[in-house]
Amino acid sequence: MIASSALCGSIMFQSEGKPLWSLVMVLEARPVQSELLKELRFPIVPENILRKRNSLKRELLAQPNLIPTRIAILGGSTTTEVKSMLELFLLAQGIQPTFYESGYNCYYEDVLFENQALWKFKPEVVLIHTTWRNISEFPESMEDEAEVEQRVRREVERYQSLWEKIHADLGALIIQNNFDFPSLRPLGNAEAFESSGRVNFVMRMNGEFSAYARNHTRFLINDVHYLSAQVGLRAWNSPTYWYNFHMAVSPTATVALAQNVAAIVKAVYGRSKKCLVLDLDNTLWGGVVGDDGVQNLILGRDHPVGEAFQDFQLYVKNLQRRGVILAVCSKNDIDVAREGFSHPDSVLKLDDFSAFKANWSPKPANIREIAAALNIGLDSMVFVDDNPAERALVADQLPDVATPEVGSDVTRFAEILEAEHYFEVQKVVRDDLSRSSYYSLNAQRITYQANFSDYGEFLASLEMTAEIAPFCSLYLERITQLINKTNQFNLTTRRYTSAEVEAVAQDPMSITLYGRLADRFGDNGLVTVLIGRAINEALEMDLWLMSCRVLNREMELAMFDALVEQCQARGIRKIVGVYIPSKKNSMVADHYRRLGFTAGEESSESRQVWHYDVFQAKPVSTPYISRGTPSQSVAL
Amino acid sequence: MPENQKTMTREEFLLEMDEILGLRAGTLRGDEKLDELQNWDSIALIGMIVLAETASDASISPDRIVGCSTVSDLVRLAGLDGSSL
């Protein structure tokens, strides 16, 4: 549950007849922990939420600075409960939805026949709430494979026509339900493999939907196939609620569905967590390494509990592989703590961790130091510890850190982490896969720097090269991710959906640049973006941000060089820099002054304006970064 | 019945109905007609089904809820006839 404690607002733009974009500012968030709102945390009792929804909504709406967003729910069945529950779980994420709801089972007609109310609503997100009951091409009994394949194609094309129209005319992000299984199996187990089996048909349709999601942007799957299995088909598909209310998903299962959709939207807005901080003893292995010694730790397939610890380590390793940063926070002597990872059955190794704190200091202090070393916010962290006293202390002293009540049963740790959707991603972005190594390489750079007394010599020795170019489709996901996650080196803290990034990249009145930075230690990846909008002969900076990974490398000077070149080539005479102060971006208050801008008279406390004469001012560039050729990419 | 659900009294049931209907706690007394209540809509109906099932620890079909005319009918349907179960 999130409450923002700083300025938040919504700005609407219209540019020459193109769809309205909404730009959203998100500033600091602090969690709300009332007893009532804990109903929305694990373990969720759906009946309690269905009964207490009015009080929950009142309390959630009282949070300041909610992010407004427009969501259209296009239903293939009754969607009243979906809307009601989705509103609660979005509010719990600090997102305040306004809804458009299609008429009953009008998901197809509303789009294909351009329902004026939907078109006027201009949704930012479209949830297509369809289920197996909306499949119109289920095979007849004993149809052959060729006929069934044609049915699959027709059904897929029907949905594709919806998606393409939504993208072309509304530009919205689509969240499409895949399909749950029907409740009944007339062919019995043969449903799973016979061409005419409905179970088989659902699996094929889901495969087609997944392929579309892999190959298209602004299209995500709400995995009801998985959710219905998790809830159980009998609880998911209730005949009572279908025949009485035409609800395809029972009310209690709708709670799980809504929480899942809210997690997807949360990820789109960059609110997922980045770092998992782990205790060691009885969290990653059974036993106390300092007392029992490595050889007596309970870890590995020879022991049921040991197998469970090993599986939890494997789960954590998989998180790390797809970009979650791992850190250790343990009450141990550091050498003893490290030794635990030498156990032959330890899946996790020391170099999987980007930070390692093992000492006898209080854990809240250690977690603060981990956040500072990694340059991430406390609200990006999740802390897992089997010890309830340690969890309570961290929860009390660091309320921004998510501290789930994992209990002490290792067989449930992963399930509880997943239940809270902490690390939900839109898509796995290539840069995510290397995130841990970025932090580890940075630690090497910091150690290397200690060899130099002159900082300029250090920068020169890094042999840095930058790739700076206009936005391209290859990096769309990473650019969107960076825009929505970066808080400190961020001049305006404006957020963009991926649809908006794509639109601005194609706008001839805008200048967009991304920057990648590599050095002798390795590739930092895509670390900075800027967006400027041309108004007459001036370019107003809408967005300029940079990952803290590359602070003090003068990458912002290299980006500014490239920006000035672009302006000169287009005859833009002035750059207008905008700085909007937030609680987290004070480090860039001086950014434009250092680049040689002069303060504008139109500045106010909440919005500072700076001016730069492109053709008159003396350029400020960096001798330490050479510009490389952009990789093969497709312009947006 | 969810593990954390204790036996419900008639008074507690009425308070929960107040919550489901978005009324101030203590508004309902039992003699109200359902179709005259503000916010008696499909969302409230779903909430009532869940509440009645929780209170009675039994499945209750929607048409039995729809068949009730007054708040007291609902209380009886939930098995709370003026005393704790």
> Using the beta-carbon criterion (under 8 Å), do A51 and B4 form an inter-chain contact?
no
B57 touches chain A (CB under 8 A): no
> Which residue of chain A comes nearest to B55, CA vs CA?
A47
Give a yes or no: residue B39 inside a domain: yes
CA quadruple A285, A291, A295, A298: dihedral positive or negative?
Answer: negative
For residues A8 and A29, which has the higher predicted lDDT (pLDDT)? A29
d(CA A421, CA A38): 15
Residues 6+ apart with CB under 8 A from A561: A619, A621, A622
Measured between beta carbons, which residues in chain A are less than 8 angstroms from residue B47?
A: 50-51, 53
pLDDT at A8 over 60: no
Domain with CATH 3.40.50.1000 in chain A: 275-419
Q: What is the mean pLDDT of chain A?
A: 89
Contact A240 B61 (CB under 8 A): yes
Residues of chain B positioned with their CB less than 8 A from the CB of A53:
43, 47
Inter-chain residue contact B61 with A245, CB threshold 8 Å: no
Which chain A residues are within 8 Å of B51, Cβ to Cβ?
A: 51
pLDDT of residue A631: 57
User: CB of A473 within 8 A of CB of A635?
Assistant: yes
* Per-residue burial over A533-555, b = 16 or more CB atoms within 10 Å of its CB, e = otherwise: bbeeebbebbbbbbbbbbeebbb
A490 secondary structure, DSSP code: B
**CA A46 – CA A58 distance, rounded (Å):** 18
Closest-CA distance, B18 to chain A, in angstroms, reads 10
Domain span at residue B54? 10-77
Q: A395, A391, A384: which is closest to A423 by C-alpha?
A: A384
Picking from A41, A45, A54, A99 by the largest number of B CB atoms within 10 A of its own CB, the best residue to mutate is: A54
Under CATH, which number does the domain A32-268 receive? 3.40.50.1110
User: For residue A21, what pLDDT band results from cuts at 50, 70 and 90?
Assistant: very low
Could you tell me the CATH number of the domain that includes residue B70? 1.10.1200.10
Please tell me which of the candidates B2, B19, B53 has its beta carbon nearest to residue A54: B19
Q: Is residue B22 part of a domain?
A: yes
Q: Rounded to an integer, what distance in angstroms lies between the CA atom of residue A302 and that of residue A310? A: 11
Per residue in A307-363, pLDDT (tens digit) is 999 999 999 999 999 889 999 999 999 999 999 999 999 999 999 999 999 999 999
Please give the backbone phi and psi of residue A589, each rounded to the nearest 5 degrees, phi first. -60, -30
B54 touches chain A (CB under 8 A): yes
- SS3 category, A286: strand
| Nearest-Cα residue of chain B relative to residue A39 | B4
pLDDT digits (tens, 9 = 90+) for A60-117: 999 987 888 999 999 999 999 999 999 999 999 989 999 999 999 999 999 999 999 9
The answer to the question of residue B82 being in a domain is no
A237-254 confidence digits (pLDDT tens): 999 999 999 999 999 999
Q: Start-end ranges of CATH 3.40.630.30 in chain A?
A: 463-627
Q: How far apart are CA A620 and CA A622, in angstroms?
A: 7
| Claim: this prediction has a pTM higher than 0.80 | no
pLDDT of residue A17: 33
User: What topology does CATH give the domain A275-419?
Assistant: Rossmann fold (3.40.50)
Whether B50 contacts chain A with CB within 8 A: yes
Looking at CA atoms only, how far is residue B39 from chain A in angstroms?
11
Give the confidence band of A451 by pLDDT, cuts at 50, 70, 90.
Answer: confident
Q: Residue A480: is its pLDDT beyond 90?
A: no
Instruction: Report the domain count for chain B.
Output: 1
User: Would you say residue B1 has pLDDT above 50?
Assistant: no
Cross-strand pairs, A286: A298
Residue B63 lies in a domain: yes
Q: Has residue B36 been placed in a domain?
A: yes
Q: Which residue, among A286, A278, A279, has the nearest Cα to A304 in the 3D structure?
A: A286
pLDDT at A30 over 50: no
Residues whose CB is less than 8 angstroms from the CB of residue A597 and which lie 6 or more positions away in sequence, other chains included: A575, A577, A610, A611, A612
A245:B62 CB<8 A: yes
- Residue A561 pLDDT more than 80? yes
DSSP secondary structure of A156-199: HHHHHHHHHHIIIII--EEEEE--PPPS--TTGGGGGTSTT-HH
Angle between helices A388-397 and A363-374 in degrees, nearest 10: 60
Segments of chain A assigned to CATH 3.40.50.1110: 32-268
Does pLDDT of A129 surpass 80?
A: yes
Q: What are phi and psi of A619, to 5 degrees?
A: -70, 145
Query: Which CATH number describes the domain made up of A463-627?
Result: 3.40.630.30
Judge whether residue A557 has pLDDT over 60.
Answer: yes
Asked if residue A286 has pLDDT above 60, the reply is yes
Return the beta strands (E) in A26-66 as ranges.
29-31
